[in-house]
Structure 1
């Protein structure tokens, strides 16, 4: 920057405002799900498994944009909590699949309701078309930059 030029104002950056809102939304949701005994990362894994009967950890890792090692650690914690079980992979006897325990099948809709309420708390000040426009713009940015990792932290 040439001498005498003033750097751009902090509040002039879209990233500043995006981060401010993102942090508030994320922290609020994290507190809500942690009160139910799971982390945000565990919630994402549970939600992905909810729509299927079972999945191989490698497929789950791909869908969540995580490493197999990270999925294994999440699965270990969820098995310990009685929310996920490991089963023999019917197609590949050497492998395993992950499936939800009945307790998780009951928990996922409750956690989804927390997510819905969290979204409402932060975004109901927007008109429906504004919410749709914001969502579309964020999808466009994510797509352009090939952002496909589940936001878990």
Structure 2
């Protein structure tokens, strides 16, 4: 299966689903504040390019995605003409994102501690198919596919 994404596919994921905003302890903006600062849309084009490049490098270093033309993209940061991204998402990550996006219902949990806020989500597809997502205080997303909620509730 070819898992090509373009930069326009990546940007919404980075701005909306990259865990709690650093320093705020919130996953989503408070009512009335649509774009927490700094938000990608509030940055100038150069800042946005560097932020997206840093996020992409983080995903590559964790082997979440593979960029097959990384040298070409790196040159773009230093003034070369635009380039198409040849990005391939690992099958497990694509499955987790698909299950998260297509769930019928979701249960959200927020846990406060001295180190910050952690979040948990149970994305419910059927009584025997659940995707459990934990977001650590550092913003790391951890996914578990479960057949029932009985043993998973303690892990949240």
- Normalised to the residue count of structure 2, the TM-score between the two structures is 0.29
